[in-house]
Chains A and B, each alone.
Chain A
């Protein structure tokens, strides 16, 4: 029967067959070309490819040129596993390629950064989370919108960590601790849900008291400076006066000691002199005494301008004399 079919095709039909043949040939050619083109793909250096066959995960391919079964039987996803991605909270760096990197509206950003601290005060905290896609398979298949989920996790963890601290800790000394503790907690939750993300870093950016409260925080700083300043001034005054007074006191004491030495030395000198003279005097008291007397007189009398020597018997004339004390006479 098949033979009959083969031989009884009329001319016109044969013509059609010929045309069909050429059309089929063209189609086959196209299929081969398209298939050829869609069966190769390149994974860039920083990325990994994930290949699905009929929707089922079959393999992960490293960077390089790879082959897959064409015509949609095998599909590929290429994920930049080496690239560090960033999420921003409370602020946004414009021009990000990552769609979930920051919240679009200013109002949302404001909500993100305002928090309540463990002493029921308020603080505004801005932070970033740096992460990479560590496990492309989990990233693609375990959670819908893993990056949005990461945003939620990050916000809730940051608030839990800040909520266990006082506003002063958050603003001043607690920064590093908050960063490291929230990193650990975020990673733990990310692992629990198999987000396939590895968090490299949590960084606090601007951490401040809320805007309306800020001036009063500054006032505290100023008051602190002022306190230091008045203490410094008082100390300066102290330092200006006291060491000098110590020096002066020392000087007076030294002078007194000098006086003491002088006084005692002089006394001893005087006494030595006296003893020496006295020893000689004892050998011939009368003569010595007289000699000393006369010597003194010889020394004293010449310097005296007016000398009156009267006879011992004529002492009654004394009142008659005009005794002038005027030196010019």
Chain B
């Protein structure tokens, strides 16, 4: 009898343990827990982390994430407004805002992601189709390329935009977020992770870039030849200028000197009729010294002043 009581109390203890163990549950910092009773949600989701209790066996815990979750879209080929085919890769952040709704409408995270896939996929596609490519590429419409003169030969100009990347992202978010509310999902943001040309457009872009560069290269070469020709021309001009100027100066200087000398001579020799005569005489005398050389044959008569005394000593 006493043994029975002993065994019974032991069994009770074990049972109590099992019940307590079942009633207690832990909510982690990263989780929220929705209590369901026979599959129906009971009360608000438990979001405070720590040790909690529920009615054992009858109530069940459903653990869901409380954190911000990641949605990583698959890269999709889409057409922009100007019919350029691009590959768009988006990502988004979301979280379970209404655990009850989420639990009722979606069985698990995989189906949640596929809902987001569908809704964001179509919203993104229509946003892309309504805008030109540049609107998805640029963000700040006021930005001007920096110091373009410093990059010689830069031909790039930033294309003008109306809205820009972040506004379009916001539009997609604004359109998609309400559609996810009924699933208890709060969409926090949508962003373009990658936008790229598809393979065939990419080739065209490369060809355009190559031709642009070649055009710049041609310009450089032609500029080089042009500049060189300009320098050669200025060299020619400068050379002619220097030489002709120096010739002119030389002639002027010499001319002035000759004129001055002539004036000096004339002033002196022309001072009186006697001076003129004397000059003539003197120059003749000096002239003889150089004109008459050793091979000159000279015939003089005794009429000459020098030899008149040869004939007679009269004077």
Contacts and interface: CB of A to CB of B under 8 A. Distances in A.
A224 B153 contact: yes
Interface stretch (B15-23, B35-43, B123-131, B140-148): B140-148
Contacts of A142: 67-68
Contacts of A213: 206, 209-210, 213
B180 interface: no
Interface centre among A229, A264, A308 (most CB of B within 10 A): A264
Nearest to B224: A227
B312 to A, nearest CB: 11
B159 A119 contact: yes
Interface in B270-302: 274-275, 278-279, 281-282, 285-286, 288-289, 292-302
B217 A140 contact: no
B153 A220 contact: yes
Contacts of A257: 253
Contacts of B285: 292-293, 296
Nearest to A298: B306
B156 A121 contact: yes
Contact of A223 (B26, B93, B188, B216): B216
B11 interface: no
A56 B48 CA distance: 8
A145 B91 contact: no
B30 A156 contact: no
A76 B298 CA distance: 142
Contacts of A11: none
B302 A312 contact: yes
A244 B50 CA distance: 96
Contacts of A255: 250
B105 interface: no
A29 interface: no
A120 B300 contact: no
Given A140-B30, A285-B274, A311 B234 contact: no
Interface string B227-265: 111111011001100110111011101101110111011
B68 A216 contact: no
A152 interface: yes
B170 to A, nearest CB: 13
A325 B250 CA distance: 44
- Chain A contact residues, majority secondary structure: helix
A2 to B, nearest CB: 9
Interface in A285-304: 285, 289-290, 292-294, 296-297, 299-301, 303-304
B228 A231 contact: yes
Contacts of B48: 56
Given A144-B69, A193-B93, A213-B206, A222 B243 contact: no
A55 B27 contact: yes
Contact of B281 (A159, A228, A292, A301): A292
B142 to A, nearest CB: 10
Contacts of A275: 268
Interface centre among A166, A233, A327 (most CB of B within 10 A): A166
A216 B210 contact: yes
A80 interface: no
B224 A304 contact: no
Counting from the closest, the 9 A-B pairs by CB-CB distance are A166-B156, A249-B246, A260-B257, A227-B224, A55-B28, A267-B261, A223-B220, A234-B231, A56-B50
Interface of A: 1, 4-5, 8, 52-57, 111-112, 114-122, 140-145, 148-149, 152-153, 155-156, 159-160, 163-169, 172-174, 177, 193-194, 209-210, 212-213, 216-217, 219-220, 222-224, 226-231, 233-235, 237-238, 241-242, 245-246, 248-250, 252-253, 255-257, 259-261, 263-264, 266-268, 270-271, 274-275, 277-278, 281-282, 285, 289-290, 292-294, 296-297, 299-301, 303-312, 315, 318, 323, 325, 327
Interface of B: 2, 5-6, 26-31, 48-51, 65, 67-70, 72, 75, 89, 91, 93, 133-134, 137-140, 143, 145-148, 150-159, 165-166, 188, 191-197, 202, 205-206, 209-210, 213-214, 216-221, 223-225, 227-232, 234-235, 238-239, 242-243, 245-247, 249-251, 253-254, 256-258, 260-262, 264-265, 267-269, 274-275, 278-279, 281-282, 285-286, 288-289, 292-303, 305-307, 310-311
